[in-house]
Amino acid sequence: MPVSPDFLDYILDLLAPLSNEYGGPVEAPRLFGGRGLTLHGRNFGLITRDDTLYLKADAISQPQFEAAGCIRFAPWADKPHRSLGYYTPPEGAMDDPDELLRWARLAVDAALRAPAKAPKKAKAPAAAKKKNLADMLLE
């Protein structure tokens, strides 16, 4: 079941102030049956199919998420040690827009600190690869 439209709208409304603070729109592209949350092309959160919000943490912010009792995102039930660096907001933050924004800012800052991924290299057409290999063999 995909993320419910009402929950997605609710989260985007709560996070709307980030657009002004960071100078770009908060977007929610589809992501493995859920939704990612991005700002300036950087993923700072995700919403799972069961309408759970997770926010990105890094070495700087992770201790704060853990101290607040936040739950770490572990998508593989049979491999709990293979979790990702995303946490739920603390209990009660979803009911307090200012508190949720405080945690979301930590996530955006973590996303902005992360190194940008290099753009994917364009693959050469298969025919060109074969031709180049054939040319090399004839030399």
Residue 132 lies in a domain: no
State residue 132's pLDDT score.
57
Residue 43 lies in a domain: yes
How many folded domains does the chain comprise? 1
The burial class, CB within 10 Å (0-12 / 13-18 / 19+), for 3 is buried
Residue 130 lies in a domain: no
Residue 120 lies in a domain: no
Q: What's 103's DSSP letter?
A: H
Residue 55 lies in a domain: yes
State residue 32's pLDDT score.
83
Residue 138 lies in a domain: no
CATH code of the domain containing 98? 3.30.1460.30
**HSE toward the beta carbon, residue 56, CA cutoff 13 A:** 19
Which residues contact residue 12 at a Cβ distance below 8 angstroms, ignoring those fewer than 6 apart? 26, 28
Q: Which residues of the chain have a pLDDT value below 50?
A: none
State residue 81's pLDDT score.
60
Residue 57 belongs to what domain range?
5-113
State residue 1's pLDDT score.
67
Residue 124 lies in a domain: no
